[in-house]
Chains A and B, each alone.
Chain A
Amino acid sequence: MNKLIAMVRKELIDAARDKRSVMAGLYYAIGTPLIMCGMFMVLINQLTSPEDLNITINKAENAPDLVRYLSRKGINQADLTAKPDTDVKAITLTITEDYAANMAKAKPAEVIILADNSDEKLQKSIRRLQQELQTYSAEMGSLRLIARGINPQVMQSLKVDMQDQSTPDSKGGMILGIAIFTMIYSVFISAMNLAIDTSAGERERNSLALMLSHPISTRQLVLGKVIAVTLFALLGLMLILLISKIAYTFVPWQELGFSINISTDFMKLMFVIGIPVALLASTLQLFVSFMAKSFKEAQSYLTMVLFVPIALSMAASYNIAPDMLQWIPVSGQQQALMDFIKGKEIPMLQLAVSSIMTIVISLGLMFGMEKMLKSEKVVFGL
């Protein structure tokens, strides 16, 4: 036991010595939430329609009531002569010449919206204009019925009540999926540098053989490395959780109609669920690095191998995954976390199965490493 503790200490001291590569591993955990939040802030501003939507209205004098109605709803006729620096959206509403004549005869009065519907920045504003025009049209239709002695309710043959089962948290499910994905990914990324350094790196520095010549078993050596790398992975996870908790509150999610809240409960759960994942991350990366002949080779292999957990996590976050993914390591945990944050019941069985599978795979990999390190080929990278 003492030997094991000594091993872990040695690995951690080793890791801490190379501050630059340690930090490089943790930059991801610190940077990702910040970058994501910055990106969302910009996106939200771009995608929401401004409170005062200024558009060009041609022939406004043909429909003064409509123009006043729109301005009440915040859709204004741009007045460039009075305020030349107003932000005018590229939407033109033209009221036709025979608007009033058609209206008086209860024929549909025509208005034309001229805009580029493929412009994502405009889409919300265009939809808003269309909606207000429809509301106006409907209101006028109701009033026409009233003027004819008919209750406008006759037009509402169905009353459709939508009873949405989503919670405020689940509405942000997509974004939360991405957030959880970045967290799981950070477990892998934070561990990567150390995993390579402590295996392939140690071998290149010729200290691996030296280590093995000491009176310790390969099992102790492997365990020491695994524990050190796992601790590092968990450190990365903790960092990204803390930073996400703070950073996400600064994004004006409410403008999208939901909120993203990294609760303390979620952080605890994520951390506990993250422990087997971190174990998998460290054993997998150590195993691959030991397999590789050199440091560089290890790096290339790892980038490829990492694609598997990333793909699993990504698939689960988009809700398009087949149910089978619930039982598989990484994606099982990801789905359980998403269910938790959406306020649903956590699928305990699936979570247990995927977590146990994660641990079993990790143990297998550890066992494999123990075997590998008995071979000279691996120890000397022959």
Chain B
Amino acid sequence: MIKARVTVTLKNGVLDPQGKAIEGALGTLGFSGVGHVRQGKVFDLELNSADRAKAEADLKAMCEKLLANTVIENYAVEIA
């Protein structure tokens, strides 16, 4: 079995009002000097396969087809 982690983040230049709100809340809590908070998503997956190359190709296809919206999001695939 292969364990993988997919990280989906907003592309540069895409406004992130949620990140901004989190940034503001951190300031309210007294954490000064926090700038540019961007919110993203993490997916942990288990694949029934031993073929790492195929797993990586499959994971990229999953990102392209569903996990990320590539109009606004980048993705990164990590295989444990």
* B is bound to A: no
